[in-house]
Amino acid sequence: MLKGKTALVTGSTSGIGLGIAKALAAQGANIVMNGFGDVEAPKAEIIAAGGSGIKVGYHGADMSKPAQIEEMMKYAASEFGRVDILVNNAGIQHVANVEDFPVEKWDAIIAINLSSAFHTTRLAMPAMKAANWGRIINVASAHGLVASAQKSAYVTSKHGIVGFTKSVALETATTGVTSNAICPGWVLTPLVQKQIDDRAAREGITVEQANKELLGEKEPSLQFTTPDELGALAVFFCSPAGNNVRGVAWNMDGGWVAQ
Ligand code: NAD
């Protein structure tokens, strides 16, 4: 379905971004990877999902640095022609009461989780509009719709990206470009594993108990959402059935925000 299209997925060396990159590759899309850590193993997973017909590139831009984001977008345009599908996924978390929240962590969370999407979107948009086709998919969170304590920066960034998604959807409403957000509940990735491990250490309980507590607090389904399930939703947004889906913040969260 996406043969000949190029998807740039920020933060695709791990977790949800990798799941979305694999799902888009499986539909034939070329992939521009981004993110920190090992690149070769996730790249091999994407190639295995997409087969030998797809092209996979990588740019290691730090999403907190606008100049590096510009370099990444230039790399994508020169190596792949243009970005047809932009998945703004890179994100970080820090947990602390507002009075204890380190200023540099606040700035990093806003830069990586929110401002980076402004920069990638403003740079990808002219070519999408010229082609009259494009998909912007922002990975927000259930925390884009409701709050939790000790997560002021994260909740602010995720509410912000839901608003950004809607504004861009209105600006592109009469074009073939759409802008939508995905709002996952808990997904068992390194970002959440750290919160589970911290809780187990803090409360002197096992990781299994911490796991159960974490899910029980927020998710009526008592199940994690998987990167593959989120990838399937991203594929839907890219399908012809998604042509007129504009400005939604689609929660896939085991009932978290239904409560
Ligand atoms: P993860 O830690 O597995 O992956 C994060 C990715 O972002 C990695 O590839 C990492 O290298 C990259 N990254 C981090 N900082 C970066 C930077 N400065 N520049 C470039 N890349 C950077 O986490 P994840 O759980 O897969 O999170 C992905 C997105 O999903 C985030 O936006 C997160 O807020 C969101 N999310 C996660 C959950 C969850 O339960 N895991 C729930 C809702 C939303």
List pLDDT tens digits, range 222-252: 999 999 999 999 999 999 999 999 999 999 9
Same domain, 141 and 198: no
Question: Which CATH number goes with the domain that contains 181?
Answer: 3.40.50.720
Same domain, 101 and 212: no
- Residues labelled catalytic: 154
In angstroms, the Cα distances linking 220 to 76, 187, 213, 255 are: 41, 14, 12, 6
Same domain, 19 and 147: yes
Q: Judge if the beta carbon of residue 211 lies within 6 A of ligand 1.
A: no
Same domain, 170 and 206: no
Please determine, for residue 29, whether its predicted confidence score (pLDDT) is greater than 90: yes
Q: Judge if the beta carbon of residue 37 lies within 6 A of ligand 1.
A: yes
Q: Judge if the beta carbon of residue 36 lies within 6 A of ligand 1.
A: yes
Burial of 156 (0-12, 13-18, 19+ CB in 10 A): middle
Question: CA end-to-end span of the chain, whole Å?
Answer: 36
Q: Judge if the beta carbon of residue 87 lies within 6 A of ligand 1.
A: no
Same domain, 33 and 21: yes
Same domain, 171 and 204: no
Q: What is the pLDDT of residue 187?
A: 97
Mutate which of 13, 73, 89 for ligand 1 pocket (most atoms within 8 A of beta carbon) = 89
Q: What is the pLDDT of residue 139?
A: 98
User: Residue 178 C-alpha to ligand 1 middle, in angstroms?
Assistant: 22
**How many helices (H) does the chain have, and how many strands (E)?**
9, 7
Same domain, 219 and 241: no
Q: Judge if the beta carbon of residue 11 lies within 6 A of ligand 1.
A: yes
Same domain, 36 and 158: yes
Q: Which of 235, 253, 24 is nearest to 158 (CA)?
A: 253
Same domain, 65 and 181: yes
Q: From CA 212, how far away is CA 198, in angstroms rounded?
A: 14
Q: Which of 2, 48, 51, 52 is nearest to 28 (CA)?
A: 2
**Domain containing residue 136:** 6-185+226-254
Q: What is the pLDDT of residue 170?
A: 99
Q: Judge if the beta carbon of residue 47 lies within 6 A of ligand 1.
A: no
Q: What is the pLDDT of residue 179?
A: 99
Q: In the chain, how many domains are there?
A: 2
Within a domain: residue 151? yes
User: Residue 139 C-alpha to ligand 1 middle, in angstroms?
Assistant: 9
Within a domain: residue 1? no
The pTM is what? 0.98
- Angle between the N-to-C axes of helices 116-131 and 152-171, in degrees from 0 to 180, rounded to the nearest 10: 20
| Ligand 1 atom closest to the CA of 19, numbered from 1 | 26
High-pLDDT (> 90) share of the chain, %: 98
Residues 128-135, mean pLDDT to the nearest whole number: 98
User: Residue 176 C-alpha to ligand 1 middle, in angstroms?
Assistant: 28
Residues 53-64, mean pLDDT to the nearest whole number: 98
Please determine, for residue 256, whether its predicted confidence score (pLDDT) is greater than 90: yes
High-pLDDT (> 70) share of the chain, %: 100
Q: Which two tokens stand for residue 32?
A: 């521009």
Q: From CA 116, how far away is CA 10, in angstroms rounded?
A: 9
Same domain, 93 and 202: no
- Rounded to 5°, angle at Cα 110 from 20 and 62: 60
Same domain, 169 and 217: no
Most distant pair of Cα atoms in the chain: their distance: 57
Question: Average per-residue pLDDT in the chain?
Answer: 97
Please determine, for residue 175, whether its predicted confidence score (pLDDT) is greater than 90: yes
Q: Strand 56-58's sheet: what is its strand order?
A: 56-58, 30-33, 6-9, 85-88, 134-139, 177-184, 249-252
Residues 143-169, mean pLDDT to the nearest whole number: 98
CB atoms within 10 A of CB 84: 23
Do 98 and 105 form a contact (C-beta atoms < 8 A)? no
Residues 165-181, mean pLDDT to the nearest whole number: 99
Within a domain: residue 259? no
Q: For residue 191, name the pLDDT band (cuts at 50, 70, 90).
A: confident
Same domain, 82 and 179: yes
